[in-house]
């Protein structure tokens, strides 16, 4: 069977769980990590098709740290888990770096917390960094920053983190690699009658009833967190595939359009989903007024808003806040995330980007609001 979802996906987030990465806690599985890295490199290079942008979200730090520290059972104390994660992350990063370098691929370590993605400014910073890494052809390898978070504010499982990263970079697809072939109607470790689910709608409540917790002592979330991650990823238009991480050439075959694992299809289109996301987060913090030229560029050409077209700034906002864009008559044209705080924006009115560094002491993005972070009102 051929599925177009992964075949057409240009930006893909791949998540691998602890049990796979560490061979059920026996230690980092060098061969498996090498295999995924070989496939990631082939995808980035577009071997056999269009080049893809890929981000790896990898668990395994705690399991690897426990092994390095000689602990045979998972400690109950949160700080011991954090210490294990810090020890294990060294090995994890080193392994991905080595395996990607063997493929002549650059790699980058990114450790994120929930707070990083909940805070608008950090959200934009994380997004810009990841998009820059992708543009540079480097493969970001992401894990939760376990050192600085405790239970209540943790993602807790990397399935959720994978979905939030997919939302963050507006990925087309999320691939969750695990120790099962995909989703079954019940936990196959417990119910031999369980049937395989080939395809379903992401967010279908019936799926949540099928999914149980983790089957091994190594994995954290189990299938339920994968189902919820698919629902979350669908919020920004990304479909999810749950597949067995040891399936030969799993990523390459998915990218060729082969149906492997369970496909959970997002119901909303990416652009539509992005707009919905903006509408849901519309707590306006201020606005900018633009000249007729900029208004036309936004309305008719779907362009970003550049400071050179701005004539005034109203309100008090920080980078990452949602602001309105108004024309000279006061009519709202668009809403979006501000790249510059109001005080900086006032200095940048009517100025070309070449002057930003002189005016601010630094230069970030050339746009005041990037079109990817903007909803033009009235536009479909």
Ligand X SMILES: N[C@@H](CCC(=O)OP(=O)(O)O)C(=O)O
Ligand Y SMILES: Nc1ncnc2c1ncn2[C@@H]1O[C@H](COP(=O)(O)OP(=O)(O)O)[C@@H](O)[C@H]1O
Mark the binding-site residues for substrate, compressed into ranges. 59, 146, 158
Q: Which secondary structure element, helix H or strand E, spans residue 265, and what is its range? A: strand 262-265
Binding-site residue positions: 15, 59, 146, 158, 178-179
Q: Which of 162, 188, 307, 336 binds ligand Y (CB under 6 A)?
A: 188
CB atoms within 10 A of CB 310: 22
| Token representation of residue 155 | 């993602």
Tokens representing 243 are 């597949």
Q: Which does 180 bind (CB under 5 to 8 A by kind): ligand Y, ligand X, none?
A: ligand Y
Stretch that binds ligand X, among 56-64, 118-126, 199-207, 360-368 (CB under 6 A): 56-64
- Member of 25, 65, 162, 219 binding ligand Y (CB under 6 A): 219
Could you say whether residue 184 binds ligand Y (CB under 6 A)? yes
Residues 6+ apart with CB under 8 A from 205: none
Binding ligand X by CB under 6 A: which of 140, 219, 235, 237?
A: 219
Q: How far apart are CA 323 and CA 305, in angstroms?
A: 12
Residue positions forming the annotated binding site for ATP = 15, 178-179
Q: Which residues between 87 and 126 bind ligand X (CB under 6 A)?
A: none
Nearest to 337 by CA among 291, 271, 278: 278
Q: How far is the CB of 175 from ligand Y (least distance, A)?
A: 12
106 near ligand Y, judged by CB under 6 A: no
62 interacts with, out of ligand Y, ligand X, none, CB within 5 to 8 A per kind: ligand X
Alpha carbons 261 and 249: distance in angstroms, whole number: 13
Pair 238, 171: CB distance under 8 Å: yes
Applying CB under 6 A, the residues found at the interface with ligand Y are 17-20, 178-180, 183-184, 186-189, 210-212, 214-216, 219-223
Applying CB under 6 A, the residues found at the interface with ligand X are 17-18, 59-63, 85, 143-144, 146, 157-159, 219-221
């Amino acid at each position: 069977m051929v599925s177009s979802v992964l075949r057409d996906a240009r930006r893909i987030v791949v998540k691998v769980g602890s049990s796979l990465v560490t061979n059920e806690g026996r230690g980092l599985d060098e061969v498996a990590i090498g295999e995924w890295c070989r496939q990631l490199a082939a995808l980035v290079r577009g071997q056999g098709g269009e080049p893809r942008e890929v981000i790896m979200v990898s668990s395994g730090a705690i399991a690897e740290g426990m092994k390095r520290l000689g602990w045979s059972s998972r400690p109950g104390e949160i700080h011991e888990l954090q210490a294990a994660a810090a020890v294990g992350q060294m090995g994890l990063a080193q392994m991905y770096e080595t395996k990607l370098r063997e493929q002549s691929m650059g790699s980058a370590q990114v450790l994120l917390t929930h707070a990083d993605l909940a805070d608008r400014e950090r959200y934009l910073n994380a997004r810009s960094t990841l998009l820059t890494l992708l543009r540079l052809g480097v493969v970001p390898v992401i894990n939760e920053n376990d050192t600085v978070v405790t239970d209540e504010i943790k993602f807790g499982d990397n399935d959720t983190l994978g979905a939030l990263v997919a939302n963050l970079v507006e990925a087309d697809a999320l691939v969750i690699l695990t120790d099962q072939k995909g989703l079954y109607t019940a936990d196959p470790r417990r119910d031999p009658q369980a049937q395989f689910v080939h395809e379903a709608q992401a967010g279908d409540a019936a799926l949540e009833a099928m999914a149980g917790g983790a089957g091994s002592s190594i994995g954290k979330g189990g299938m339920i967190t994968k189902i919820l991650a698919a629902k979350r990823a669908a919020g920004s238009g990304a479909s999810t595939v749950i597949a067995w991480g040891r399936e030969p050439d799993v990523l390459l075959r998915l990218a060729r359009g082969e149906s492997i694992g369970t496909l959970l299809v997002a119901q909303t289109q990416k652009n539509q989903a992005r707009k919905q996301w903006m509408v849901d987060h519309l707590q306006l913090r201020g606005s900018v007024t633009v000249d007729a030229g900029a208004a036309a560029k936004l309305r008719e050409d779907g362009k970003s808003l550049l400071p050179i077209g701005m004539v005034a700034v109203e309100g008090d906002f920080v980078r990452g806040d949602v602001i309105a864009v108004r024309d000279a008559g006061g009519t709202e044209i668009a809403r979006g995330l501000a790249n510059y705080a109001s005080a900086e924006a006032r200095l940048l009115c009517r100025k070309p980007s070449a002057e930003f560094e002189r005016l601010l002491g630094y230069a970030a993005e050339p746009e005041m609001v990037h079109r990817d972070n903007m909803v033009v009102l009235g536009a479909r």
